[in-house]
Amino acid sequence: MKLANKALDDVRRRVQNDTLGHRGRKDDPLYRARKLLVSASERINDNGQVRLRGLLEAGDRYGEVRNAWQAKETLREIYDITDPKVGAQTVNQLAEDFQDPWLPEEINRLGRTLWSWRTQISNWHKAKVTNAATEAANNLAKRVKRGAFGFTNFANYRIRTLLYAGKPNWALLETLTPT
């Protein structure tokens, strides 16, 4: 989804620059629509939907941004599919559809990425497991390491990381402290 939002933002920026000849400014329609475009469609209220439609009509002459937004929303729907076979077929079909030449190049790039990762995305439908917990633990350890400017003692680094993670097992920490 991060890549889909980035592709949508890249399309928006390119169209903005092609249309007006400069980067987005606060009064430009596509610049004003940037937050609405990356929001989930079900989280946009009726006023936001009307505003988004108006901004796209004002700044998106050829419908490229609208197509990119629809591609992003279609990709989001993959994760609502419960049947693994249907999920795999949908991923394959989307990867092919996103590579159509009538779509913006940024969406073609997203389609190629989907095609490369189609097996892994399809496997999510089978297991419903992500690596989010591992990524969170790695992020936490890296933040502690950056804040400490390097530890010379691994035991101190480990204790600091456990403390930073919150709710440490104090009995375990007592056994880890260096003597």
Per-residue pLDDT reduced to its tens digit, 60-102? 999 999 999 999 999 999 988 989 999 999 999 999 999 999 9
Structure confidence at residue 141 (pLDDT): 83
- Residue predicted with more confidence, 125 or 95: 95
Chain center to CA of 125: 18
Q: pTM of the full predicted structure?
A: 0.75
Domain boundaries, the chain: 2-127, 132-176
C-alpha 154, offset from chain centre = 34
Residue 23 backbone phi and psi in degrees, to 5:
-65, 165
Q: Cα–Cα distance between 162 and 39 in angstroms, integer?
A: 35
CB environment 41-59: b (16+ within 10 A), e (fewer): eeebeeeeeeebeebbeeb
CA distance 91 to 78: 7
